[in-house]
């Protein structure tokens, strides 16, 4: 892959994806192949929203490549608190770093940032928009556990505000994947994502009950109902706790079902699933390191 910026999974071709995943597999098998490959490189981390996995894995990935990171810190301790625009913030920090990793609560923020700087911008989540690097590690995990073609996947939970969902659905249009979307009526896929999927020739199969699709799935991708994205607390309460995947539910699933989750989880996957062979979400989170190393190796 050779892109100036990684803003959306929509920009990724099958070749782009496979190139990153293949490189990630090489790195996972032998991390020494890239040790020190990017010595002297500085990666700027700009997280305007809380993050654990994405921030730390980008930090670790850059350091394992021999580079350094600089971190804007929390919004409260930065010039953003003084009212600085995002456009100004990124124009300043591009002078300090060779690439920027940006997480921001507003949709379209990464695209905007990319229009104001010359260094590569990697979207690490823009509101309820996109999260393409999560998708790359999701695809890596799916490829390792179930394969990316002849795949039947059920994506469940917050499909309206879930940026990992939007990016994954877009990326899977590159593969022979049957996509099932399971959510409450009020959290169905946004119009724009449905438009893109249909334009790509993907059938949007929608359900409100997990059981309707579960028996035929290779992968169940569970997402959290994200309280912080709801403009109205009442709207959140109406759907909170709508789905809970537990070992009893999984008795009606295929024995090879892979259960994934971008994490953090609240109560949508019961702890009793952790000990089953279905549970893949911690492996999924760990895959963030080789995948982000591969991505940075290609971008920088």
The Cβ of residue 195 has, within 10 Å, a number of other Cβ atoms equal to 12
Residue 54 to residue 246: CA distance in whole angstroms: 26
Contact flag: residue 163 with another protein (CB under 8 A) = no
Write down how long the chain is.
300
How far, in Å, CA of 133 to CA of 62, rounded?
Answer: 14
Catalytic residue of the set 131, 170, 261, 292 = 131
- 193: which DSSP letter? H
Binding part of the chain for another protein, among 30-38, 103-111, 117-125, 150-158 by CB under 8 A, reads 103-111
Point out the catalytic residue in the list 54, 135, 223, 258.
54
* 108 touches another protein by CB under 8 A: yes
Q: Which is nearer to another protein, 189 or 253 (CB)?
A: 189
Active-site annotation holds for 63:
no
Q: Which residue matches tokens 């929608």?
A: 206
Contact between 101 and another protein (CB under 8 A)?
Answer: no
Q: CB under 8 Å to 93, separation ≥6 — which residues? A: 44, 46, 70, 72, 100
Rg of the Cα trace of the chain? 19
Residue of 54, 69, 109, 133 interacting with another protein (CB under 8 A):
109
Q: Which stretch binds another protein (CB under 8 A): 109-117, 136-144, 257-265, 266-274?
A: 109-117
Per annotation, catalytic residue among 103, 143, 160, 292: 103
State the minimum distance, in angstroms, from the CB of residue 84 to another protein.
10
Q: Which residues inside 59-88 make contact with another protein, applying CB under 8 A?
A: 83, 85-87
> In whole angstroms, how far apart are CA 231 and each of 56, 124, 144, 234, 235?
29, 22, 37, 9, 8
Choose one: 34-42, 51-59, 127-135, 209-217; the region binding another protein (CB under 8 A): 127-135
User: Is 160 part of the annotated catalytic residue set?
Assistant: no
Site string for another protein, 186-205 (x = CB under 8 A): ----xxxx-x----------
Nearest distance in Å: CB 112, another protein: 5
21/93 Cα distance (integer angstroms)? 29
3-class secondary structure, 18:
helix
Q: Which of 127, 132, 154, 290 binds another protein (CB under 8 A)?
A: 127
Is 131 catalytic? The answer is: yes
Nearer to another protein among residue 128 and residue 148 (C-beta): 128
- With CA atoms as reference, report the closest residue to 263 among 59, 94, 65, 51: 51
Helix (H) or strand (E) holding 284: helix 281-286
Please give the residues from 228 up to 287 whose contact with another protein meets the rule CB under 8 A: 231
Is the bond into 264 cis (omega within 30 degrees of 0)?
yes
| Residue 113 and residue 84 in contact, taking contact as beta carbons nearer than 8 Å | no
Which residues are known to be catalytic? 53-54, 82, 103, 131
Binding site for another protein (CB under 8 A): 83, 85-87, 104-109, 111-112, 115, 126-129, 190-193, 195, 231
């Amino acid at each position: 892959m050779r892109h100036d910026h990684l803003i959306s999974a929509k920009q990724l071709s099958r070749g782009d994806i496979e190139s990153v995943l293949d490189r990630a597999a090489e790195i996972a098998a032998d991390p020494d192949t890239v040790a020190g490959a990017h010595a002297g490189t500085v990666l700027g981390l700009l997280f305007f929203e809380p993050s654990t996995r994405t921030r730390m894995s980008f930090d670790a990935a850059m350091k394992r490549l021999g580079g350094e990171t600089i971190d804007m810190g929390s919004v409260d301790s930065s010039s953003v608190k003084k009212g600085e625009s995002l456009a100004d913030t990124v124009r300043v920090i591009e002078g300090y770093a060779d690439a920027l990793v940006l997480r921001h609560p507003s949709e379209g923020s990464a695209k905007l940032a990319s229009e104001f700087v010359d260094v590569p911008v990697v979207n690490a989540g823009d509101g309820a928009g996109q999260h393409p690097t999560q998708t790359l590690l999701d695809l890596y995990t799916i490829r390792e556990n179930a394969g990316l073609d002849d795949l039947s996947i059920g994506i469940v939970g917050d499909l309206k505000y879930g940026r990992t969902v939007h990016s994954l659905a877009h990326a899977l249009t590159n593969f022979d994947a049957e996509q099932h979307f399971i959510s409450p009526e009020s959290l169905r896929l946004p119009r724009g994502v449905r438009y893109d999927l249909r334009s790509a020739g993907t059938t949007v199969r929608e359900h409100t009950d997990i059981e309707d699709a579960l028996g035929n799935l290779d992968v169940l991708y569970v997402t959290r109902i994200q309280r912080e994205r709801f403009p109205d607390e009442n709207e959140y309460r109406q759907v909170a706790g709508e789905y809970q995947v537990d070992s009893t539910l999984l008795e009606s699933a295929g024995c090879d079902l892979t259960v994934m989750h971008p994490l953090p989880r609240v109560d949508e996957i019961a702890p009793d699933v952790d000990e089953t062979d279905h549970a893949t979400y911690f492996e999924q989170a760990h895959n963030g390191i080789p995948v982000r190393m591969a991505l940075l190796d290609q971008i920088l």
